[in-house]
A and B are shown apart, each in its own frame.
Chain A
Amino acid sequence: QTAPTIKWRLTSGFPKSLDTIYGGAEVLAKRVKELTGGKFQIQVFAAGELVPGGPAALDAVQAGTVECCHTCSYYSFGKEPTFAIGSALPFGMDCRQANAWFYYGNGQKLMDEFFSNYGLQSFPGGNTGTQMGGWYRKELTSLDDIKGLKFRVAGIAGKVWAKLGAVPQQIPGGDIYPSLEKGTIDAAEWVGPYDDEKLGFYKVAKNYYYPGWWEPGLVIHFFVAKKEWDKLPAEYKAAFEAAAFEANVTMMAEYDHKNPAALSRLLSSGVKLRRFSNEIMQAAQKASQEVYAEESAKSPAFKKISEDYFKYAKVQNAWFSIAEASMAQFLHGAK
């Protein structure tokens, strides 16, 4: 029996300008093609070429417009809060912990159970690592400085910031930079040093905060329409899975490779690196828990999966605080 030629289309939730995230889909397409001797071809479309970015990529898979997409499930948070868990939760797990949860914990099983309600099969396919906390025109010296802070932040994180008194604002993409420059908004968050540098925020808002506690390890997924997945020959499934693993690992490595140099460039251009104070972090963590309680009351799936997620996170953090953290502390503290 000869292997069939299969052509799929993949829509990315990201524009080509986010080259590292967008590149994840190209890693998958290239590897799948190589592993199947050129028989299984996946054509990659950037956000906007077939359908817009954001939640539209996932909708396009669900509607059958494309066979698969590469995007963050939290864009669909408005449909069902559980979609946020697939990508990142404030004070949730980092990249390695999330991989552990997905691959060896209950993550993959629980999320696929949830995604199957939407006819989707999911594969972790990239990670940004812990993000930065965004660019602020003024220093945040206390919780009071957050009151009335006009902040460009989306999704579940926006709900947490709103609880702290901020005014989450949605500004059209191209206008984020000028709005920050002119002071129409006071702060904006994006990804991390490498992607942030490209948008030029450092020229107009010098306070660069960390850590991005609302995205401690943003997972990007490949989503495949289940009915298309079921039609694939077993070897093609294996090729797809292997390629998704590779995209997942290499994106993180690529970010780790690119971010230090970008951060050093930012620092040398006068950026003030600032850490969120414990007061802010603790208040934000408390606010996050309130948000989780509210979402759990609305959605049984969110309640069930987020409980498993945070139970797992707690164990992970305890473990990471031993060898990992002390080694990091020693190395980073050494003169």
Chain B
Amino acid sequence: MNEFLIANMAPIMFGALIVFMLVGFPVAFALAANGIFFGLLGIHLGLLNESLFMALPERVFGIMNNDTLLAVPFFTFMGLVLERSGLAEELLDTIGQLFGPIRGGLAYAVIFVGALLAATTGVVAASVISMGLISLPIMMRYGYDRKIASGVIAASGTLAQIIPPSLVLIIMADQLGRSVGDLYEGALIPGLTLTALYVGFIFLVSIFRPAAVPALPLEARSLHGMKLLMRTLTSLVPPLLLIFLVLGTIFIGVATPTEGGAMGATGALLLALAKKRLSWRLLRQAMDSTAKLTTFVVFILIGARVFSLTFYGVDGHLWVEELLTALPGGVVGFLIVVNILVFVLAFFLDFFELSFIIVPLLAPVADKLGIDLVWFGVLLAVNMQTSFMHPPFGFALFYLRSVAPKEVKTSEIYWGAIPFVLIQIIMVSLIIVFPNIVSYGDSGHGDTKKPEVELSIEQLQQSGSSDAPAQKDDDLAKTLRGEK
């Protein structure tokens, strides 16, 4: 029995983790409990040292002084303030009027506004709730297919996760040890491509099932001509300003990605203030929700650190590495298996859990296989985006359900999400087939091999002036004797 346990500790521990988490107690504590239980077992079996757990305070301290994770409260706070500032409503209203009279127009408006909101913040809940509240009733009034309407809202809301700035990308960067800025740059084109694919889908629907996405009658418009144009321009100013504050300050070098989040949060506060929507209650609510979200996210990470201490201690990382490097098909085999694994796990786990438990195990293997980790991170982020849309547990569907009119059946929301989950899978394949979609900066990770050139002394001589002071002989003698 003991021999069997000792030989198979890592797979047993991993299997038990699933059981521990399914119990339904908070994930953070279940993760930690798994680490502690198997740690004690390992010590009992002589696999691990008694002093194992002494590493825990240092491991948590490593989370405490993590400047990257600091961006989590910033972006959450920004998103929560922003959603209450009326920005989304104005955008939806104006863009809806602009596109409404064309077939599928309201759906395009939702996608466009979803992408715009995504570029300012990263809170899926807020985007879905706004769009669900405002657009869904209008779409229903004018005869949109409920499945298409709810699907496009849920999916466009999840764009917040992949179009930078986003919490997924921040956490992914932290777990992969890569720069947040690089992940932002890398995710930009995939995020926009995804937006285009959503648009393409609606376009196809408008051709093959025009009744599902009818055009609005012109009398549904309250604004016309110049007035509408002006409204469109003015409603675009605040989101563009915020995009500048968050991404612009990072790209022109005012701020680090973390500070960019703080700039955005400050900007959102100012915007709400300017719109006279900043009340004490709003502020307290936003801070309260932000603090709780930050806490539960960081605690999942703390739990994961307790788990991985034991898991590494019993060489679990080596077990995973052997398992994944032995796959047939090399890099492609690895990518296919990993993506299927993440896709399936995303039914049960949200992206925080996936990022903190699964990504640290996958990243070293990917690195060993020569896969660029920024690219890998973007790929996983697109894949994990489905965790918001998977029926029946996707959070975006859950948020939409909570604000959708009663007539919309839950099954309609589920069915509506499926085409978009398929689009997501197409996007994952596109990234694998065309890896250059994920392009980021000129950032050097030393992979580019330079031609070998002999170092010439002339080069060295030219580059520096040789102005070393000469020393007097007798001074030198004294110094040599240690007298001076």
Contact indicator A311/B51 (Cβ below 8 Å): no
Check A112 for interface membership: any CB of B closer than 8 A: no
**Interface size of A by Cβ–Cβ distance < 8 Å?**
61
Within 8 Å CB of A59, what residues of B? 58
The digit string for A230-246, where 1 denotes a CB below 8 A from any CB of B, is: 00000000000000000
Asked if B274 CB lies within 8 Å of chain A CBs, one says no
Cβ-based interface call for B255 (8 A): yes
On whether A177 and B444 interact (CB within 8 A), knowing A184-B254, A261-B455, A267-B455, the answer reads yes
Question: Complex formed: what's the CA distance from A254 to B469 in Å?
Answer: 31
A49 touches B312 (CB 8 A): yes
Interface residues of A (CB under 8 A from B): 9, 15, 45, 48-52, 56, 59-60, 63-66, 170-175, 177-179, 181-184, 197-204, 210, 260-261, 263-265, 267-269, 272-275, 277-278, 311, 314-315, 317-319, 321-322, 332-333
Q: Are B309 and A182 neighbours in the complex by a CB distance under 8 Å?
A: no
B450 touches A198 (CB 8 A): no
Within 8 A of A (CB), among B452-469: 452-457, 459-461, 463-465, 467, 469
Measured CB to CB, the nearest residue on chain B to A181 is: B441
Give chain A residues whose Cβ lies under 8 Å from the Cβ of B444.
177, 198-203
Contacts of B451 in A (CB 8 A): 265, 268
Taking A275-B463, A275-B465 as known contacts, 20 extra A-B pairs with beta carbons closer than 8 A to each other, sorted by chain A number, are: A48-B62, A51-B58, A64-B54, A173-B177, A174-B178, A174-B179, A174-B182, A175-B256, A178-B179, A178-B443, A184-B255, A200-B443, A203-B442, A261-B452, A277-B465, A314-B482, A315-B479, A315-B480, A332-B457, A333-B461
Are B446 and A198 in contact, with the CB atoms below 8 A? yes
The distance from the CB of A82 to the nearest CB of chain B, in whole angstroms, is 22
Question: Would you list 5 pairs from A and B whose C-beta atoms are within 8 A, ordered by A residue?
Answer: A56-B62, A175-B180, A175-B181, A184-B255, A197-B446
**Stretch of B29-37, B245-253, B345-353 contacting A (4+ beta carbons < 8 Å):** B245-253
CB-CB < 8 A to A273: which residues of B? 459-460, 463-464
Q: How far is the CA of A301 from the CA of B451 in the complex (A)?
A: 49
Nearest 7 CB-CB pairs, A to B?
A200-B444, A275-B464, A182-B253, A183-B253, A264-B455, A273-B463, A52-B62
Question: Would you call the interface of chain A mostly helix, strand, loop, or mixed?
Answer: helix
User: In the docked arrangement, what's the CA distance between A172 and B69, Å?
Assistant: 10
A199:B446 contact, CB within 8 angstroms: yes
Number of A-B contacts (CB under 8 A): 156
Closest A residue, CB atoms, query B478 = A318
CB distance from A300 to the nearest CB of B (A): 23
Contacts of B256 in A (CB 8 A): 171-172, 175, 179, 184
Q: Contacts A60-B54, A265-B452, A267-B453 given: A314-B251 contact, CB under 8 Å?
A: no
- Does chain A have a CB within 8 A of B275? no
A267 contacts which chain B residues (CB < 8 A)?
Answer: 453, 455, 459
* A319: nearest chain-B partner, CB-CB: B480
Interface pair B55/A268, CB less than 8 Å apart: no
**CB-CB contacts of B39-68 with A at 8 A, as 1s and 0s?**
000000000010110110011011000111
CA of A332 to CA of B257, assembled, Å = 45
Residue of A nearest to B177 (CB): A174
User: Once the chains bind, are A174 and B173 in contact (CB under 8 Å)?
Assistant: yes
Question: Quick one: given A174-B173, A175-B180, are A274 and B253 in contact (CB under 8 Å)?
Answer: no
Given A173-B177, A210-B464, also A322-B476 (CB < 8 A): yes
Q: How far is the CB of B361 from chain A (nearest CB, A)?
A: 12
CA distance A164 to B265 in the complex (A): 35
**Residues from chain A with Cβ under 8 Å of B49 in the complex:** 9
Taking the closest CB of chain A, its distance from the CB of B442, in whole angstroms, is: 5
Question: Is B450 in contact with A269, judged by CB distance below 8 angstroms?
Answer: yes
Which residue from chain A places its CB closest to the CB of B184 in the assembled complex? A178
* Contact status B450-A50, CB under 8 Å: no
